[in-house]
Amino acid sequence: MREYLKSRLVVTGLLLILLGSAPLITIIVLADLGLWSDPDPNPVGPGILHFLTFWPGVVCVITGGVKVYRRRRDNAPKQSTPQP
């Protein structure tokens, strides 16, 4: 797991997802708790931000994960097969 978090693509994707979704989730949670001025908010701006950052973030995480997996697989020690 630690190897995946060292990948720039994985970290970039996670940050995109986190920073793009945080405003929308914050508004939803605050409205649910009654701490937002409007009990039924329509957060268009944060919704668009979430939409534009979520899927690129997912693509970055998947691409980075595949690259790390392939690098680990290629660097793994080869197991020899027994000769008859």
Main-chain phi, psi angles of 81, to 5 degrees: -90, 140
The pTM of this model reads 0.82
- pLDDT at residue 78 in the model: 76
Mean pLDDT of 28-45: 90
pLDDT tens readout for residues 21-34: 999 999 999 999 99
Helix axes 44-75, 8-33, angle to 10 degrees: 150
- pLDDT at residue 56 in the model: 96
